[in-house]
Amino acid sequence: MALVEEVGRMHHRLELARLPEAERIAVAVQTSRVVGVLGEAEVGKTETIRQALGPSTEKLAVIELDLDGAAGEEQLAFHLVRETARTYLGAAEFSTLKVGVLVPASLEAKRVTLAELIGVDGLDEAVRDWPSGRYRLADALKGLEELGRQREMTLWIDHLESPGLTPRHPLDLDDLLWGIRELVQRLPRLSLVLSGRSAVEGRVLGPEAAFHQQGQWLSLDNPPPEAWQEVALDLKVPMSVLSELVELAGGHPETMQMALLELTNQRLKGSGAEVLRYLASRAGALTARAVQHASSLHRLGAQVLVQVAYGEGPYAAAQRGASPPQEIRKVLGRLQQAGLIRHGGGWTIVHPLIGIALRSDLRWAVAPDIPEAEIDGDL
């Protein structure tokens, strides 16, 4: 129970420490109808934006549309119409309606009104456990538009990078964003929040993108040292060890929280470097999955991942062998979009424990460099 309480207390302190960033996002939403938040993987974008927007109220509907795991337009339509129905009814009444039992007259009246709002097909789709595969995204957007004509609404689309992680993904991000832009133009009471990894910036803000020169765009990074000082004070972690941890881990939220928990109540003693080496020694499965993921993205993915961990400079001719610079840039782009590496004054591994594990143990498979002439198909 003590561990559960410590984790809860740490998360609460971190939320308080990130309040200034959440307030910055909240102010942007109040002053601009289109707000974007971009940042590298695992910095805490989703949690901070959710903290900034808060829950739906009677005056303001907040609808979250997560592209992470969206298999196509039909599944996205299912999630969107379900969130629209949940927002209109409220979580409790939506759950009651979804069960399919006899409902009070007041809820029955709301069901009739909801059917008029999103259509009978939309209501049938919203109360399903799984997508039917027949409900169209255009119909879901139409239902969202009808709700937006009745109430102030904030639509938040998260994980914009997800459709680009799979070759030939059935969900066309460009079409979706252009459709959303048209919706924003038609509904003056609709505010839009877009968030994703930095690697997707060109798809959203490029010269031919839907939101080129549109809205207010913010960047979010790992919590700063001041945020971790607040957490460490509450957990009674020595400041000298904290400073070393922040420098070595770059403020990476998951790594910092794991390290601080180990240091709490002196469960683990030592310097920041020793704590991170201990945690990395237990991250073998995490590291192996990262290497497998990198290999699935490109034949040179694992090789470049190890080179980034060592800081060997993936662009160096001596390191890339027969692979041309364009191919290496493609590898780096895919690894960044997948959340394995980040760029900030140089390429580094996103998860510090994976970087430490790769530098200390080279049992991971590294793909051989194959001449470009022998490559068959898309990289």
Q: Which of 20, 35, 27, 40 is nearest to 196 (CA)?
A: 40
pLDDT of residue 7: 79
**How many distinct helices (H) and strands (E) make up the chain?**
19, 7
Mean pLDDT of 325-353: 92
Residue 370: what pLDDT?
Answer: 43
| Domain residue ranges in the chain | 19-219, 235-281, 284-368
Q: Is the pLDDT of residue 318 over 80?
A: no
- Are 169 and 160 spatial neighbours (Cβ–Cβ below 8 Å)? no
Q: Does 368 score more than 60 pLDDT?
A: no
Question: What's the rounded Cα separation, in Å, for the pair 52 and 160?
Answer: 19
Tell me what the mean pLDDT of segment 262-287 comes to. Answer: 85
In the prediction, which pLDDT does 268 show? 66
Confidence of residue 374 (pLDDT cuts 50, 70, 90): very low
Give residue-wise pLDDT tens across range 173-186.
Answer: 999 999 999 999 99
Reduced 3-state DSSP string for 256-307: HHHHHHHHHHHCCCCCHHHHHHHHHHCCHHHHHHHHHHHHHHCCCHHHHHHH
Q: What DSSP character marks residue 59?
A: S
Taken as a whole, the chain contains a residue count of: 379
Mean pLDDT of 200-217: 94
CA separation for the pair 226, 244 (Å, rounded) = 13
Percent helix, strand, coil in the chain, to 5, is 60, 10, 30
Contact 35, 193 (CB under 8 A): yes
Helix (H) or strand (E) holding 218: strand 216-219
pLDDT at 322: 66
- Cβ neighbours around 40 below 10 Å, total: 22
User: C-alpha distances in angstroms, 215 versus 49, 175, 220, 340?
Assistant: 16, 19, 16, 29
Q: What is the pLDDT of residue 34?
A: 97
Per residue in 2-49, pLDDT tens?
667 777 888 888 888 899 999 999 999 999 999 999 999 999 999 999
**What pLDDT band is residue 366 in, cutting at 50, 70 and 90?**
very low
Confidence of residue 301 (pLDDT cuts 50, 70, 90): very high
Q: Which of the following CATH numbers is that of domain 19-219: 3.40.50.300, 3.40.190.10, 3.50.50.60, 3.30.410.40?
A: 3.40.50.300
Look up the CATH architecture of domain 284-368: Orthogonal Bundle (1.10)
Q: Indicate the pLDDT class of residue 58, thresholds 50, 70 and 90.
A: confident
Contact 70, 163 (CB under 8 A): yes
Quick one: average pLDDT of 86-112? 85
Specify burial of residue 137 (Cβ count, 10 A radius: 0-12, 13-18, 19+).
Answer: buried
Confidence of residue 107 (pLDDT cuts 50, 70, 90): confident
Mean pLDDT of 154-159: 97
Average pLDDT over residues 192-221: 95
Q: Which of 50-64, 66-80, 284-298, 306-320 has the lowest mean pLDDT?
A: 306-320
**Contact by Cβ (8 Å): 300, 367:** yes
> Given pLDDT bands bounded at 50, 70 and 90, which one contains residue 324?
confident
Identity (one letter) of the amino acid at 353?
Answer: L
Tell me what pLDDT residue 265 has.
62
Q: Which of 52, 46, 16 is nearest to 227 (CA)?
A: 16
Among residues of the chain, what percentage have pLDDT more than 70? 90
Q: What is the pLDDT of residue 325?
A: 80
| pTM across the whole model | 0.88
